[in-house]
Amino acid sequence: MRQRARYCPGESQAVKRAFIIFIAGTALLFGFLVIVIVLNESENDTSALATSTVANFVDPQTRGAYLARAGNCAGCHTVQGGQPYAGGRELPTPFGTFVTPNITPHHVSGIGIWTAQDFWRAMQHGKGRDGKLLYPAFPYTEYTKVTREDSDAIFSYLQTIAPAENAVAPDRLRFPYNIRALLYVWRALYFKPGAYELVANQTPEWNRGAYLVQGLGHCNACHATRNALGAAGGAALGGGQVAGHSWYAPSLTSRAEAGNADVPIEEIIALLSTGQSSKTAASGPMAEVIWQSLQHLSAPDVRAMAVYLKSLPDSSAAKSAPSELTADARQRIAKGSKIYEKHCKDCHGTAGEGAPGAYPPLADNRSVTLPSPLNTIRSVLDGGFAPSTASNPRPYGMPPFAHSLSSEEVALVVSYARNSWGNRASLVTAVEVDKTGSD
């Protein structure tokens, strides 16, 4: 005969107490997070700097147009062939696809009913006009350093451009990233608002460069490793794969990658403003940034950025002596040399010396020997195209080889370039080539 479960008042009361404690603990934790966020996001304007960090322009609209270029706003908020700033560009990420908003002054589909205060809250605090938390695909984690004066100037400029009636599609994010309330936790962990503060023991030029790199230029948005929640991890400007793209943004602090401590200042300026220097050429997303943004900056601003980047302390580990190549590695490099002889030598030279002003050298080129071979693989597959700039309107380019070389052949020729003429880096496999995909 089945026995009925015996009712125990003591056990029932214990369960009730445990449940009440759990609810209270959860409420306290949520309350703590809200308090942290409120304290971190005070609406007090603390952005005033001891000296102006904006170039001298006659009116706010002209200054705003310049600053919008410096921030490369059109780069994200414009689709190819579309009206500038009308939004709709898709940004693929590991969390889903973000669609950039329309920031023209259209009253329905744009920001025509926004105020300068609304825009400032978005820039510094990552909040929309209605107070809704914005996803950090909009780099407010860097734009928070922008001064109120510069934010107002950019907004003033955006209000003068032609309104575009373009209601963009909503973001397409996977669960649970589509739960916007989770941003409260993300922001408590990873976001601290605050405009750039001058470093007293540095020159005005250095501070200007730091402001542009850390704030408007939002360089760390690409040149940083991201954790599983999409937050920048590790050292600032320490390098990482560009989110949603098969390109690697190299460390700007490591001599082994793209650190500038040993690079002449004029070489840094040339690369930033023209996309080419005597040692390398920009390609991929960086070429786009130079074409749309950096080439339009004033000479003093580009120099200020170069001064700041050159001052960053070297973060590279001590370089150990390279290990002896195995017989198999030497065989793969020999096969790659035959492919190089046929397809690459005419432009890049027998000794990888390149052609000054036309084709970058491959010998002693840090872009070729980066720990990640992604960029070199992509250049071989898709072609290498330096940006078209005012000082170099018709740069030489490299044709794509995706349709003429197999994955194995691409791996062999990249391995050859990474291990010839004094270069030494890891060999590349066909599997790595196949994994790069396309953007």
Give the DSSP H/E element, type plus range, for residue 258: none
Supply the pLDDT for residue 50: 31
Q: pLDDT tens digits for 22-33?
A: 444 444 444 444
Give me the helix-helix angle, 407-418 and 327-343, nearest 10°.
100
Supply the pLDDT for residue 301: 97
CA dist 126 and 128 (Å) reads 7
HSE-CB of 167 using CA atoms within 13 angstroms? 2
- CA atoms 212, 216, 219, 225: torsion sign: positive
CA dist 140 and 215 (Å) reads 9
Q: Looking at 36-45, 52-61, 167-176, 415-424, which range is the least confident one?
A: 36-45
Supply the pLDDT for residue 233: 82
Contacts of 408 (CB under 8 A, 6+ apart): 430, 433
Supply the pLDDT for residue 439: 59
Residue 50 lies in a domain: no
Residue 165 lies in a domain: yes
Residue 13 lies in a domain: no
CA dist 150 and 53 (Å) reads 8
pTM (two decimals): 0.84
Supply the pLDDT for residue 357: 83
Same-domain pairing of 297 and 235:
yes
Same-domain pairing of 151 and 208:
no
Using the predicted structure, report yes or no on whether residue 11 has a pLDDT greater than 60.
no
Average pLDDT score over residue span 124-129: 96
Same-domain pairing of 355 and 298:
no
Residue 44 lies in a domain: no
Where a domain ends, among 190, 218, 235? 190
| pLDDT band per the 50, 70, 90 thresholds, residue 244 | confident
Choose among 242, 236, 249, 415: nearest CA to 337.
415
Supply the pLDDT for residue 56: 65
What total number of domains does the chain contain?
3
Give the single-character DSSP code of 193: -
Enter the tokens of residue 247: 């390109």
Mean per-residue pLDDT over the chain, rounded: 87
Residue 47 lies in a domain: no
Choose among 379, 385, 362, 374: nearest CA to 433.
374
Same-domain pairing of 343 and 259:
no
Same-domain pairing of 253 and 303:
yes
Q: Looking at 43-57, 275-289, 341-355, which range is the least confident one?
A: 43-57
Supply the pLDDT for residue 349: 96
Instruction: Give the CA distances from residue 86 to residues 100, 284, 290, 393, in Å, rounded to whole numbers and listed in that order.
Output: 9, 23, 21, 27
| pLDDT band per the 50, 70, 90 thresholds, residue 21 | very low
Using the predicted structure, report yes or no on whether residue 319 has a pLDDT greater than 80.
no
Average pLDDT score over residue span 234-263: 91
CATH label of the domain that carries residue 343: 1.10.760.10
Same-domain pairing of 68 and 178:
yes
Same-domain pairing of 144 and 217:
no
What percent of the chain has a predicted confidence (pLDDT) above 90? 75
Residue 2 lies in a domain: no
Enter the tokens of residue 10: 């003591």
Structural domain for 258, as ranges = 204-311
CA dist 110 and 42 (Å) reads 27
Q: pLDDT tens digits for 328-374?
A: 999 999 999 999 999 999 999 999 999 988 899 999 999 999 999 99
Residue 273 lies in a domain: yes
Supply the pLDDT for residue 6: 38
Contact yes or no for 363/423 (Cβ under 8 A) = yes
Choose among 64, 103, 66: nearest CA to 83.
103
Supply the pLDDT for residue 367: 94
Using the predicted structure, report yes or no on whether residue 58 has a pLDDT greater than 80.
no
| pLDDT band per the 50, 70, 90 thresholds, residue 234 | confident
- Spatial strand order in the sheet of 96-99: 90-93, 96-99, 172-173
Using the predicted structure, report yes or no on whether residue 298 has a pLDDT greater than 50.
yes
